[in-house]
Structure 1
Amino acid sequence: MSDSFKAYVLREDDNRKVTGAFEQVATADLPEGDVTVRVAYTTVNYKDGMVMNGIGRLVRSYPHVPGVDFSGTVEASTHAGLAPGDPVVLTGWRVGETRWGGYGELARVPGEFLVRLPDGLTLARAMALGTAGFTAGLAVDTLEAAGMRPDGGEVLVTGASGGVGSVAVALLAAKGYTVVASTGRAETHDYLKGLGAAAIVDRAELAEPPKRPLASERFQAAVDNVGGSTLANLLTQIAYGGAVAAVGLTGGNEVTTTVLPFLLRGVSLLGIDSVMCPKDRRERVWQTIASTLPMDKLDSVSHTHGFDELPVLGRAILKGEVRGRAVVSFEAPRSRGASG
């Protein structure tokens, strides 16, 4: 193992301003953990953009290497279940926040944080999924456990052109569901239909606070990336016994609603937490995604970038300028897809 590695390092000055730069970091400075991974790919999530730009005080100790997701091969291990050369993927566990993450050529974590790369996935495609794809898979798994089925009616995905939404649309369509995608970006309609969306609902139709406590029953279930008024509105349109998986809050974290959808229609509001999800469920959901999601659809929602593009991507994702999934390679990108 080399004595140092390249990483994108954040530092905080006396005025609490956070800045980032590429640096050579001593391997000895890696955090404690029983597995060291040679990182091949990482990605940029909205949370990464916040961390890179010092928003939300998610990081409490500097210097810090961000990156909440990574994939690569085990470089060294004292963990019983992992050996050098094993391909692995990491999402969650507050890596990239409370401990150093994947924006470096090396990462060190507890072995229990790592999932062995499922058959059918490459390291690049694992990062085309990342936290967003895993969250989408977890949402679909949760809704199916609550009774959602392919012949049960339409399933709505809000914020459909983002990372979680894109994978949710493609995964649901691959499973045989009739998917309705909600977006405010007209230029993404063809993109979403290509992923399998049967219909498009303009974001504005759901963004206003609901006018009545119950509207006509339309959707058997929904994957909601937005929260706020959108979540309040769609709760009124969920059919009897249906459910909503809440995965995001781009439209706000406060929801003003009534209990009537819950009391009169038996609707369930299900929270999705992908960060601390137990490892056994992680492995099952990753396997389901790998065996179900069409890889050509995954490639169509991803675009590959070089490691030096991280700062630009970190700013762009906060502005809503990143469509689908940004895969970051520690080698020069070979193509726009993530099949390598």
Structure 2
Amino acid sequence: MSTSFQAMVVTETAPGLFQRAIVSKDLNELPAGEVLIRVRYSSLNYKDGLSASGNRGVTRRYPHTPGIDAAGEVVESSAPAFTAGDHVMVSCYDFGMNTPGGFSQYVRVPAKWVMPLPAPLSLRESMIYGTAGFTAAQSVDRLQRHPVLPDQGKILVTGATGGVGSMAVAMLAMSGYSVAAATGKPEQEHFLRELGAQDIVPRENSIDRSGRMLLKQKWAGVIDTVGGEMLATAIKSTRYGGAVTCCGNVASPDLPLNVYPFILRGVSLLGIDSAECPMSVRIPIWNKIATIWRLPNLEQLATEISLKELDQQIEAILHGKQKGRVILNLDA
């Protein structure tokens, strides 16, 4: 089968210099795998921005096609679980990192990476959620199972205008929680309140550099998407017995913190992993996304772009200027 298609390819043109371009490729150039998929939609995540800019911690070898999310139809499958025409999703694992990803009209992947599209989501809707929505849903689920209950107090969401943060604000609000949204973008207050945030916390008020071991107890729970000093401050501000989820390090991978919140207040720090999360966990979370956490304001979170517009959006997400979710229409 010989078919030409379009994909973004990142190439190292000189040591440490990377160039992004939309190029024509052939199916024969795709890696081995049991399932060939015609991609209809993908989405833009911070990890994609890193991969697209030559970050070796995400992608070791170039040329490379980023995109850790993809949704489309099966074209061919040697795996009995999938047949031509099935609507499916691929996200996480090594997809888009060291295996050609979703910024391409076709992908070929191992069957164990493929998940049936959860009903009643459309392909487009699934990518508005994407890895960001899945990560947010995991975070809300972990707080609920801790348990942190709505009547115990406010939940802080950091990086609230980003993909994970905005999804988390909306999911928490529709689950009955009172949400405080921390952001460095005061102009996005209306956007956050429409998602369900009751309080807006300026970024400068979310970081404490006093050196105090513990801070005033404010939050019943926290969903942190940024790491670093903001995460440390959130932990020190969490109430007795509360929980903090951690899923990002855009601010810093370091955690400047002492043990007192854990041994004097019993605070729990819950790590959220989306990349290697097994299907036994992944599918139930996605079923919740498609049902009880199916957001009524989903379109409000989405900006749809074409491959030609992708480069500009990659620069935006790398500079902290993305709002909500950017989805890539591979047919546009």
Work out whether the TM-score is over 0.5: yes
Q: 1:168 Cα shift? A: 0.2
* Structure-2 separation of matches of 1:16 and 1:236: 39
The residue type equivalent to 1:316 in the other structure is: A
TM-score by length of 1: 0.94
After TM superposition, list the pairs within 5 Å mapping 1:88-107 onto structure 2: 88-107=88-107
The residue type equivalent to 2:242 in the other structure is: G
> Is the CA contact 2:182–2:201 (under 8 Å) kept in the aligned structure 1?
yes
* Cα 1:63–1:251 shift into 2, 3 Å: closer
> Is the CA contact 2:38–2:105 (under 8 Å) kept in the aligned structure 1?
yes
TM-score by length of 2: 0.96
- How many percent identity over aligned positions? 39
* Structure 1 residue ranges (4+ consecutive) displaced by more than 6 angstroms after TM superposition: none
1:190 lines up with 2:185 in the alignment: no
> Is the CA contact 2:36–2:109 (under 8 Å) kept in the aligned structure 1?
yes
Deviation per CA, 1:192-239, whole angstroms, max 9, x where unpaired? 110011111111111232542222222111000121111111111111
The residue type equivalent to 1:37 in the other structure is: I
After TM superposition, list the pairs within 5 Å mapping 1:1-340 onto structure 2: 2-332=2-332
Q: 1:101 Cα shift? A: 0.6
The residue type equivalent to 2:4 in the other structure is: S
Deviation larger for 280-289 or 214-223: 214-223
The residue type equivalent to 2:327 in the other structure is: V
Q: 1:296 Cα shift? A: 3.2
Q: 1:85 Cα shift? A: 1.0
* Cα 1:58–1:211 shift into 2, 3 Å: closer
> Is the CA contact 1:174–1:294 (under 8 Å) kept in the aligned structure 2?
no
* Structure-1 separation of matches of 2:275 and 2:136: 13
* Structure-2 separation of matches of 1:194 and 1:142: 24
> Is the CA contact 1:213–1:260 (under 8 Å) kept in the aligned structure 2?
yes
Aligned length: 332
The residue type equivalent to 1:247 in the other structure is: C
- The 3-state SS of whatever aligns with 1:317 is helix
* Structure-2 separation of matches of 1:38 and 1:50: 25
RMSD across aligned positions (CA): 1.4
